Structure 1
Amino acid sequence: MTDNWPVSDLLDIRRIYLEPAAAELPRGKEVLARHPDATIVEVESHQRIPELYGDETNVRRWVRIKREALVLGVKKTMTARPNGRSADFIAPSTANGCAMACAYCYVPRHKGYSNPITVFANIERITAYLERHVRKQGVKPSANECDPLSWVYDIGENSDCALDARISDNVRDLVTLFRDLPTAKASFATKHVNRDLLDWDPRGRTRIRFSLMPPADAKVLDIRTSGIAERIAAIDDFVAAGYEVHVNFSPVVVRDGWLADWADLLDHLDAGIGAAAKQQLAAEIIFLTHNRGLHEVNLGWHPKAEDLLWRPDLQQVKRSQNGDLNVRYRTGEKGAYVRALTDLIAERTPYLRVRYAF
């Protein structure tokens, strides 16, 4: 399922759910002009659209909805939330949702599970807010695990920016913004190789984190994404184009033979990138956390994924702050898994700095 999906299979926009205010903005007009044959459905809000939200009862329509539907709205609230692990701040989003369909993704349950892409048209307000926020921070006083020198802003918490860039110029505007901000850099994780980004001249101020996992896991879990080999093959090109490139080992799934498959992946990574990439490479490692509600929904459209994701013999229940029931690998045993993988990285790819692992 990771056979390098052509863009036409990922996106074929036929229906646009439109907040009227978005159509009055330059970015909204640009997006609408790209899809002149799409049916326009006016909505009061980009949130909780009845035809999209609550479609858990019709899970087999999800991929079709992701491919054919687009939501065009206006971002109402501007905040840069402190983060402190992957990034110093989570930037206000310029999009949410995704045309890909990874079986473990936590985002869909907040927007009806099908979760097609929503684009926010008021990009000028978002970039102006971010520029003010960055300048207010001043020079970063000390190094942390996010970055030794720069404030890091995650610009893709609830979407995949490389894929968002197929829909609008919002991501390009953000890369351009951070290019000229000497105290900050943008960051986003991606499972989609979009070589259009190679022409954007980021000048080291945008960090792309290519998400990687063993191909055996990706075939089952990373639905409608670029293949693992394609992602690795892109790393050198993005480094040469002026991006900082890291890798995101997420989610790490424990199963029979998992560590041997990670060894193979690390060997593939090592053989697939050059000296320049290795010199600046770092990794984030995130072991699987799964959600009981998503488990039940996945059983309706992709039960094979749950053979990997739902492992009561290995997992314990944890209630999240919002009341959801999540499962994660058992305390103590998980620590041993983390050590086993970080030791393997030190052995196979000793240049690969682990920024954090949990």
Structure 2
Amino acid sequence: MGDEQRPRRPLLQISRIYAEEAAANSPRGREIIDRWPDADLVGVDSHWRIPELHGDERNVRRWVRIKSEALVLGEKKSLTVRPNGRSADFIAPSHSNGCAMACAYCYVPRRKGYSNPITVFTNIERIQAAIARHAAKLGPKTEPNQCDPDRWVYDLGENGDCSADALISDNVRDLVEQFRTLPNAKASFATKFVNRDLLDWDPAGSTRIRFSLMPAETAKLVDIRTSPIPERIAAIADFADAGYEVHLNFSPVIVEPGWLERWAELLDQIAEAVPARVRDRLAGEVIFLTHNEPLHEVNLGWHPRAEELLWRPELQEPKISQNGQTNVRYRWRDKRVYVADFLDLLARRAPWLRVRYAF
């Protein structure tokens, strides 16, 4: 049976909810608990410290099962808006942490530990208030930049995937509706999951959704539990027509034998599937692979085949990231060539696509 015929298991099959007391007793927390009335409810002191979920290397063999069946409810303590400057002007306070998907290259598990299922922050009103205060203090955006020419852009999904989060609670919808009312601000998030419920939200051009794309054969190996690439491509026009600003997030670009040919095929598929009226409104971002040795060691315990693509010491070198972590990236002299080759390919196969940045 081919992949297109094989029935897909639900992304979430919640059987246990871990909850801080204040989160469980909040209106949003009660809404979430009521959605899964048969799930066991387990009280915890802190969403950061749950031994059977976080920080235990032995969980690697249960990684995907934990992501499917466990859900955590907590309250967001730090409401700081942080500067970004690359894809967005700012990082908004997180409405969640963790993800139900299991992409082999994801940096989020490096922060909280291994399986890292979704944690929903139930004090959404305080998160929204922090964003509103910050945007009000900024005032109008007077100088265009690569993030946006007219409005301040706030990334909502730094530590997860908003499309998947929307399966659990109304946090993401509340944020999309809030940005509709902020004249100088715009929300943004990248996603690998097609959630068509978002098409009914009327974002009014104030939310940018960035569909993450890579060649389908590569995605089958490293994008675990995500929507298939053809499904993501098919959603582009629908989301643009529904009032979202749609961008294409080519990430991560993985150097492998025949990689440029695979990307050329993907770009042709996008051009064929997306009508010209939508193509002309798109923009793109290009991000080459960054990996991490501790994550590499974890991946060897559950998905070693992915590491054949991701862990390439003969091509990579250490680099300190903006948050101080030691990662590995393609050697900088070679990477300059890779980036130039990729941008040349884009110019030839997708001349209609404006590229905001590439690195």
* TM above 0.5: yes
What letter corresponds to residue 83 of structure 2 in structure 1? Answer: P
Secondary structure of the residue that 1:103 maps to in structure 2? Answer: coil
What letter corresponds to residue 128 of structure 2 in structure 1? Answer: T
Aligned to 1:353: 354
More deviation in 46-55 or 242-251? 46-55
Query: Which consecutive unaligned segments of at least 5 residues does structure 1 have?
Result: none
Distance, in Å, in 2 between the alignment partners of 1:2 and 1:201 is 33
Shift of the 5–125 alpha-carbon distance from structure 1 to 2, 3 Å rule, reads farther
Distance, in Å, in 1 between the alignment partners of 2:319 and 2:313 is 12
Shift of the 250–48 alpha-carbon distance from structure 1 to 2, 3 Å rule, reads same
Distance, in Å, in 2 between the alignment partners of 1:317 and 1:249 is 22
Shift of the 243–323 alpha-carbon distance from structure 1 to 2, 3 Å rule, reads closer
Aligned to 2:179: 178
Secondary structure of the residue that 1:158 maps to in structure 2? Answer: coil
What letter corresponds to residue 145 of structure 2 in structure 1? Answer: N
**Deviation at residue 15 of structure 1 after TM alignment:** 0.4
**Deviation at residue 59 of structure 1 after TM alignment:** 1.1
Aligned to 1:336: 337
Distance, in Å, in 2 between the alignment partners of 1:350 and 1:161 is 30
Secondary structure of the residue that 2:262 maps to in structure 1? Answer: helix
Shift of the 100–145 alpha-carbon distance from structure 1 to 2, 3 Å rule, reads same
TM-score, normalised to structure 1, is 0.97
Distance, in Å, in 1 between the alignment partners of 2:56 and 2:222 is 21
**Deviation at residue 133 of structure 1 after TM alignment:** 1.0
Shift of the 347–303 alpha-carbon distance from structure 1 to 2, 3 Å rule, reads same
Aligned to 1:245: 246
Aligned to 1:208: 209
Distance, in Å, in 2 between the alignment partners of 1:185 and 1:303 is 39
**Deviation at residue 275 of structure 1 after TM alignment:** 2.1
| Per-residue Cα deviation, 1:141-162 (whole angstroms, up to 9, x for no partner) | 1000000001000000001000
Distance, in Å, in 2 between the alignment partners of 1:321 and 1:162 is 26
Distance, in Å, in 1 between the alignment partners of 2:3 and 2:289 is 19
**Deviation at residue 215 of structure 1 after TM alignment:** 0.8
Distance, in Å, in 2 between the alignment partners of 1:8 and 1:263 is 31
Aligned to 2:127: 126
Shift of the 158–272 alpha-carbon distance from structure 1 to 2, 3 Å rule, reads same
Number of residue equivalences: 358
Shift of the 188–135 alpha-carbon distance from structure 1 to 2, 3 Å rule, reads same
| Per-residue Cα deviation, 1:43-63 (whole angstroms, up to 9, x for no partner) | 001102111112212311011
Aligned to 1:150: 151
Distance, in Å, in 2 between the alignment partners of 1:170 and 1:273 is 30
What letter corresponds to residue 277 of structure 2 in structure 1? Answer: A
Mapping for residues 273-352 of structure 1, pairs under 5 Å: 273-320=274-321, 324-352=325-353
1:262 has 2:263 as partner: yes
Shift of the 7–174 alpha-carbon distance from structure 1 to 2, 3 Å rule, reads farther
Shift of the 59–332 alpha-carbon distance from structure 1 to 2, 3 Å rule, reads same
Secondary structure of the residue that 2:64 maps to in structure 1? Answer: helix
TM-score, normalised to structure 2, is 0.97
**Deviation at residue 249 of structure 1 after TM alignment:** 0.4
| Per-residue Cα deviation, 1:177-231 (whole angstroms, up to 9, x for no partner) | 0011111100000000000000000000000000000011101000000000000
Shift of the 322–125 alpha-carbon distance from structure 1 to 2, 3 Å rule, reads closer
What letter corresponds to residue 75 of structure 1 in structure 2? Answer: K
| Per-residue Cα deviation, 1:49-89 (whole angstroms, up to 9, x for no partner) | 11111221231101110000000011111011000000000
8 Å contact kept, 2:53–2:59:
no
Distance, in Å, in 1 between the alignment partners of 2:327 and 2:270 is 31
State the identity %: 68
Mapping for residues 64-213 of structure 1, pairs under 5 Å: 64-213=65-214
CA RMSD in angstroms comes to 1.6
Secondary structure of the residue that 1:332 maps to in structure 2? Answer: helix
8 Å contact kept, 2:285–2:355:
yes
Shift of the 242–7 alpha-carbon distance from structure 1 to 2, 3 Å rule, reads farther
What letter corresponds to residue 245 of structure 1 in structure 2? Answer: V
Secondary structure of the residue that 2:226 maps to in structure 1? Answer: coil
Distance, in Å, in 1 between the alignment partners of 2:35 and 2:249 is 32
| Per-residue Cα deviation, 1:209-262 (whole angstroms, up to 9, x for no partner) | 000000111010000000000000000000010000000000000011000000
Shift of the 330–4 alpha-carbon distance from structure 1 to 2, 3 Å rule, reads farther
Distance, in Å, in 2 between the alignment partners of 1:6 and 1:281 is 32
Distance, in Å, in 2 between the alignment partners of 1:18 and 1:134 is 31
What letter corresponds to residue 315 of structure 2 in structure 1? Answer: L
What letter corresponds to residue 185 of structure 1 in structure 2? Answer: K
**Deviation at residue 171 of structure 1 after TM alignment:** 0.1
1:41 has 2:36 as partner: no
Mapping for residues 45-56 of structure 1, pairs under 5 Å: 45-56=46-57
8 Å contact kept, 1:4–1:227:
no
What letter corresponds to residue 276 of structure 2 in structure 1? Answer: A
Secondary structure of the residue that 1:60 maps to in structure 2? Answer: helix
Distance, in Å, in 1 between the alignment partners of 2:148 and 2:337 is 27
| Greater RCO, CA 8 A, separation 6+ | 1
Shift of the 31–7 alpha-carbon distance from structure 1 to 2, 3 Å rule, reads farther
